[in-house]
């Protein structure tokens, strides 16, 4: 079994109003050091052993459902599940 960690983030060229709101709140709370905040998604998948290529499976899942590839980038890590 494999554990897949997927990180989905807005592309740098896309405005992040949620991140801007969080940054403003942090600065108002006294955390003046905060320069920027970008909000994203983190997903974990457990994938059972298969003959199919895990990299290909995960890329397909991300491009078809888990990430909006027009405005989001994604990356993933695959490790053995314990």
Q: What is the CATH number of the domain that holds 30?
A: 3.30.1280.10
Q: What pLDDT is recorded for position 45?
A: 98
Domain span at 57: 2-80
Chain centroid to Cα 53, Å, comes to: 21
Q: Is the pLDDT reported for residue 21 higher than 90?
A: yes
pLDDT digits (tens, 9 = 90+) for 22-71: 999 999 999 999 999 999 999 999 999 999 999 999 999 999 999 999 99
Name the domain count of the chain.
Answer: 1
Q: What pLDDT is recorded for position 49?
A: 95
HSE toward the beta carbon, residue 57, CA cutoff 13 A: 15
Position 72 confidence tier, pLDDT thresholds 50, 70, 90:
very high
Q: What pLDDT is recorded for position 82?
A: 81
């Amino acid at each position: 079994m494999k554990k897949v960690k997927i990180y989905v983030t807005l592309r740098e060229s896309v405005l992040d109003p949620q991140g801007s709101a969080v940054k403003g709140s942090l600065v108002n709370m006294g955390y003046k050091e905060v320069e920027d905040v970008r909000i994203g998604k983190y997903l974990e998948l457990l994938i059972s052993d298969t003959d199919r290529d895990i990299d290909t499976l995960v890329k397909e899942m991300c491009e078809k459902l888990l990430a909006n590839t027009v405005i989001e980038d994604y990356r993933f890590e695959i490790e053995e599940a314990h």
